[in-house]
Amino acid sequence: MSRHEGAVPFDEPVFAEPWQAEAFAMTVALHDKGLFSWSEWAEALSAQVKQPGAASDGHDYYEHWLAALEKLLAAKGLAAKPDVDAMAQAWERAAHATPHGKPILLENDPEFAC
């Protein structure tokens, strides 16, 4: 087997969606800041992926990735689920209020309080 066999082809995206790359980068950055160890992360992700209902083809891998990150941060007292959910809803409202082609900014949320 050559060292390139099985490698990700350069002409194909590594992530199917931009949010997947962002979730990956956020996890690496939070680890680099010392908020959790790789073994803690691996345990959290493994537990999430092994839950009933996970797709056998892995198409939902990054959904599990994000859920594992949210649970790990909540367990460490860094980001409570209600706070994460509230922020996600604010971004969703901002996305709906943002004109097509313009950057989505949290300030575009009609309920945003300065």
Average pLDDT estimate for 63-73: 94
* C-alpha atoms less than 13 angstroms from C-alpha of 6 in its C-beta half-sphere: 3
Residue 6 confidence class, pLDDT cut points 50, 70, 90? low
By the 8 A CB rule, do 64 and 20 touch? no
Q: Residues 84-107, buried b or exposed e (16+ Cβ, 10 A)?
A: beeeeebeebbeeeeeeeeeeeee
pLDDT one-digit tens code per residue, 80-110: 989 988 988 998 999 999 999 998 888 989 9
pLDDT of residue 59: 87
What does the pLDDT average to over 50-79? 91
For 77, the 3-state DSSP assignment is coil
| pLDDT band with cut points at 50, 70 and 90 for residue 13 | confident
Q: Is the pLDDT of residue 113 over 80?
A: no
Neighbouring C-beta atoms of residue 17, cutoff 10 Å:
10
Contact 16, 8 (CB under 8 A): no
Instruction: Evaluate whether 98 touches 105 at the Cβ level (below 8 Å).
Output: yes
Distance of alpha carbon 74 from alpha carbon 40, whole angstroms:
13
Average per-residue pLDDT in the chain? 88
